[in-house]
Amino acid sequence: MDNPYVYFSLSIIVYLLGGIDETLIVLFCLNIIDLILGLLSSNRDKKKLLSHKIKMYLVIILGVMLDKVLGTENNQITKARTYIILAYSYNEVVNIVNSLCSDEDFFVPAGLRKYVKKLKDKSGDKN
């Protein structure tokens, strides 16, 4: 991987995403888990699943640009970017648990099911 174009492309992507921090790493890991579960699931549209993940990162880039325009990127926390990442992380957790719960033969602890249901009820999420 000594191709300078690869390094340049990756650095541009990292810049556009506002750098790499714990929240982005967690979201990326949740995306990978959801993608794997989506590929294993027979009733999910694979193309739509991938396009949703790409759109998710485009919205994060939009949040980074909003922080730059509003001047909040110089603070310790980038407000719009962090909010967007946390919202998508929550959504990914709900998707993952729903995917696991949809499999009748797979054990998901009742406490986890209740916790996700409570989060969904609090947020007014209809998914």
Q: How many domains does the chain have?
A: 1
pLDDT band at residue 124 using 50, 70 and 90 as cut-offs:
low
127-109-49-61 Cα dihedral, nearest 10 degrees = 80
**Separation of alpha carbons 32 and 120, rounded Å:** 22
* Residues in the chain, total: 127
Say if 78 falls within a structural domain: yes
- Of the listed ranges 3-7, 12-16, 36-40, 114-118, the least confidently predicted one is 114-118
State the pLDDT at residue 76: 61
Residue 108, domain member (yes or no): no
Segment 73-116, tens digit of pLDDT: 666 667 889 999 999 999 998 888 888 877 777 888 888 878 77
**What is the chain's alpha carbon radius of gyration, rounded to the nearest angstrom?**
17
In a domain, 37, yes or no: yes
Question: Is residue 101 situated within a structural domain?
Answer: no
This model's pTM is above 0.85: no
Residue 77: domain span: 4-90
